[in-house]
Amino acid sequence: MESLLDLAASHPLRTLSPNETLIAQGQPGGDLFVLVSGELGVERDGISIATIVTPSSLIGEMSVVLGSPASATVRASKPTTVRVIADARQYLKTDPELTFRLAWLMANRLDATSAYLVDLTRKHTGKPEHGLLGAILSALHMPGDDKHYATVDRHDMFGDGDDASRN
Protein backbone atom coordinates (compact mmCIF):
# COMPACT_ATOMS: atom_id res chain seq x y z
CA MET A 1 0.00 0.00 0.00
CA GLU A 2 1.40 3.39 -0.98
CA SER A 3 2.12 5.84 1.81
CA LEU A 4 0.06 8.99 2.15
CA LEU A 5 3.18 10.98 1.27
CA ASP A 6 3.45 9.08 -2.01
CA LEU A 7 -0.25 9.61 -2.71
CA ALA A 8 0.03 13.34 -1.98
CA ALA A 9 3.34 13.89 -3.80
CA SER A 10 1.74 15.94 -6.59
CA HIS A 11 0.10 18.40 -4.17
CA PRO A 12 1.72 21.68 -3.13
CA LEU A 13 3.96 22.04 -0.11
CA ARG A 14 3.30 24.48 2.73
CA THR A 15 5.95 25.43 5.27
CA LEU A 16 4.94 26.57 8.74
CA SER A 17 7.02 28.47 11.27
CA PRO A 18 6.94 27.55 14.96
CA ASN A 19 3.60 28.54 16.55
CA GLU A 20 1.97 29.06 13.14
CA THR A 21 -1.57 27.67 13.01
CA LEU A 22 -2.39 25.14 10.30
CA ILE A 23 -6.01 24.53 11.38
CA ALA A 24 -8.05 26.61 13.83
CA GLN A 25 -10.76 24.94 15.91
CA GLY A 26 -14.23 26.05 14.85
CA GLN A 27 -13.12 27.32 11.45
CA PRO A 28 -14.43 25.75 8.25
CA GLY A 29 -12.40 22.75 7.15
CA GLY A 30 -12.02 21.47 3.65
CA ASP A 31 -8.34 20.83 3.12
CA LEU A 32 -6.34 17.75 4.03
CA PHE A 33 -2.71 17.94 5.05
CA VAL A 34 -0.02 15.26 5.01
CA LEU A 35 2.97 15.80 7.28
CA VAL A 36 6.26 15.82 5.38
CA SER A 37 8.51 16.89 8.26
CA GLY A 38 8.39 18.74 11.55
CA GLU A 39 6.07 18.63 14.53
CA LEU A 40 2.44 19.64 15.01
CA GLY A 41 0.60 20.07 18.29
CA VAL A 42 -3.12 19.32 18.42
CA GLU A 43 -5.33 21.10 20.94
CA ARG A 44 -9.07 20.85 21.52
CA ASP A 45 -10.91 23.30 23.76
CA GLY A 46 -7.56 24.48 25.12
CA ILE A 47 -6.40 20.96 26.05
CA SER A 48 -3.37 19.46 24.34
CA ILE A 49 -4.45 16.09 22.94
CA ALA A 50 -1.70 14.98 20.56
CA THR A 51 1.66 15.68 19.02
CA ILE A 52 2.12 14.66 15.40
CA VAL A 53 5.70 13.91 14.31
CA THR A 54 5.43 10.93 11.98
CA PRO A 55 5.88 11.79 8.30
CA SER A 56 2.87 10.73 6.23
CA SER A 57 0.43 11.55 9.06
CA LEU A 58 -2.92 12.84 7.83
CA ILE A 59 -4.37 16.02 9.33
CA GLY A 60 -7.82 17.58 8.83
CA GLU A 61 -9.67 14.42 7.84
CA MET A 62 -12.47 14.71 10.40
CA SER A 63 -13.78 18.06 9.17
CA VAL A 64 -13.41 16.97 5.53
CA VAL A 65 -15.33 13.72 5.97
CA LEU A 66 -17.95 15.16 8.34
CA GLY A 67 -18.29 18.44 6.44
CA SER A 68 -18.00 20.25 9.75
CA PRO A 69 -15.82 22.98 11.23
CA ALA A 70 -12.43 21.90 12.54
CA SER A 71 -12.74 20.06 15.84
CA ALA A 72 -9.25 21.04 17.02
CA THR A 73 -6.48 23.55 16.52
CA VAL A 74 -3.32 22.24 14.88
CA ARG A 75 -0.21 24.36 15.26
CA ALA A 76 3.44 23.90 14.29
CA SER A 77 5.68 23.27 17.31
CA LYS A 78 8.83 23.71 15.23
CA PRO A 79 9.50 24.33 11.52
CA THR A 80 7.08 22.03 9.70
CA THR A 81 6.26 21.13 6.10
CA VAL A 82 2.99 19.61 4.92
CA ARG A 83 1.45 18.66 1.58
CA VAL A 84 -1.86 20.44 1.02
CA ILE A 85 -4.77 18.64 -0.64
CA ALA A 86 -7.08 21.58 -1.30
CA ASP A 87 -10.86 21.09 -1.47
CA ALA A 88 -10.28 17.55 -0.30
CA ARG A 89 -13.92 16.46 -0.36
CA GLN A 90 -14.07 17.03 -4.11
CA TYR A 91 -10.58 15.65 -4.67
CA LEU A 92 -11.36 12.40 -2.82
CA LYS A 93 -14.10 11.68 -5.36
CA THR A 94 -11.40 11.47 -8.05
CA ASP A 95 -8.75 9.47 -6.15
CA PRO A 96 -9.99 6.07 -4.94
CA GLU A 97 -6.60 5.04 -3.52
CA LEU A 98 -6.37 8.11 -1.29
CA THR A 99 -10.02 7.74 -0.31
CA PHE A 100 -9.42 4.12 0.70
CA ARG A 101 -6.32 5.08 2.73
CA LEU A 102 -8.34 7.75 4.55
CA ALA A 103 -11.13 5.24 5.32
CA TRP A 104 -8.55 2.66 6.44
CA LEU A 105 -6.86 5.21 8.72
CA MET A 106 -10.12 6.34 10.31
CA ALA A 107 -11.30 2.73 10.81
CA ASN A 108 -7.94 1.89 12.37
CA ARG A 109 -8.25 4.81 14.79
CA LEU A 110 -11.81 3.81 15.73
CA ASP A 111 -10.69 0.23 16.32
CA ALA A 112 -7.81 1.35 18.54
CA THR A 113 -10.07 3.77 20.45
CA SER A 114 -12.72 1.07 20.98
CA ALA A 115 -10.11 -1.42 22.23
CA TYR A 116 -8.71 1.18 24.63
CA LEU A 117 -12.16 2.04 25.97
CA VAL A 118 -13.00 -1.64 26.45
CA ASP A 119 -9.78 -2.06 28.42
CA LEU A 120 -10.61 0.98 30.57
CA THR A 121 -14.15 -0.32 31.09
CA ARG A 122 -12.77 -3.62 32.42
CA LYS A 123 -10.46 -1.77 34.79
CA HIS A 124 -13.26 0.48 36.09
CA THR A 125 -16.13 -2.01 36.41
CA GLY A 126 -18.17 -1.09 39.47
CA LYS A 127 -16.64 2.40 39.68
CA PRO A 128 -18.40 5.68 38.78
CA GLU A 129 -16.34 5.93 35.56
CA HIS A 130 -17.91 2.71 34.26
CA GLY A 131 -21.14 4.45 33.20
CA LEU A 132 -19.26 7.17 31.33
CA LEU A 133 -17.09 4.65 29.51
CA GLY A 134 -20.16 2.64 28.50
CA ALA A 135 -21.81 5.79 27.14
CA ILE A 136 -18.69 6.61 25.09
CA LEU A 137 -18.50 3.08 23.65
CA SER A 138 -22.19 3.19 22.74
CA ALA A 139 -21.78 6.56 21.05
CA LEU A 140 -18.82 5.31 19.01
CA HIS A 141 -20.91 2.50 17.59
CA MET A 142 -24.17 4.32 16.85
CA PRO A 143 -25.64 3.14 13.57
CA GLY A 144 -25.94 5.43 10.60
CA ASP A 145 -27.52 4.90 7.22
CA ASP A 146 -27.28 6.47 3.80
CA LYS A 147 -30.22 8.82 4.42
CA HIS A 148 -29.61 9.85 8.01
CA TYR A 149 -26.17 10.06 9.50
CA ALA A 150 -26.15 9.51 13.22
CA THR A 151 -24.60 12.48 14.94
CA VAL A 152 -23.10 12.27 18.37
CA ASP A 153 -23.61 15.27 20.60
CA ARG A 154 -21.40 15.86 23.63
CA HIS A 155 -24.53 15.94 25.80
CA ASP A 156 -25.46 12.44 24.55
CA MET A 157 -22.12 11.14 25.78
CA PHE A 158 -21.45 13.22 28.87
CA GLY A 159 -24.78 14.76 29.91
CA ASP A 160 -24.70 18.05 31.71
CA GLY A 161 -22.57 18.73 34.76
CA ASP A 162 -25.22 17.39 37.15
CA ASP A 163 -25.57 14.08 35.27
CA ALA A 164 -21.81 13.53 35.23
CA SER A 165 -21.52 13.95 38.99
CA ARG A 166 -24.25 11.36 39.65
CA ASN A 167 -22.67 8.56 37.56
What number is the average pLDDT over the span 133-149?
Answer: 55
Mapping DSSP onto H, E and C, the string for 51-101 reads: EECCCCCEECHHHHHHCCECCCEEEEEEEEEEEEECCHHHHHCCCHHHHHH
pLDDT of residue 147 exceeding 70: no
Report the share of the chain in percent with pLDDT over 90: 54
pLDDT recorded at residue 3: 85
Judge contact between 58 and 34, C-beta under 8 A.
Answer: yes
Please give the Cα distance from 45 to 61 (Å, whole number).
18
User: Is the Cα torsion angle 146, 138, 41, 2 positive or negative in sign?
Assistant: negative
Q: What is the pLDDT of residues 74-130, one digit of tens each?
A: 999 999 999 999 999 999 999 999 999 999 988 888 888 888 777 877 777 776 665
H helix or E strand, kind and range, residue 33: strand 32-44
**CB-based contacts of 99, cutoff 8 Å, min separation 6:** 92, 93
Judge contact between 24 and 73, C-beta under 8 A.
Answer: yes
Please give the Cα distance from 99 to 93 (Å, whole number).
8
Q: What is the pLDDT of residues 26-82, one digit of tens each?
A: 999 899 999 999 999 999 999 998 999 999 999 999 999 989 999 999 999 999 999
- E-strand ranges in 100-148 read none
pTM of the model: 0.75
pLDDT of residue 138 exceeding 70: no
DSSP 19: T
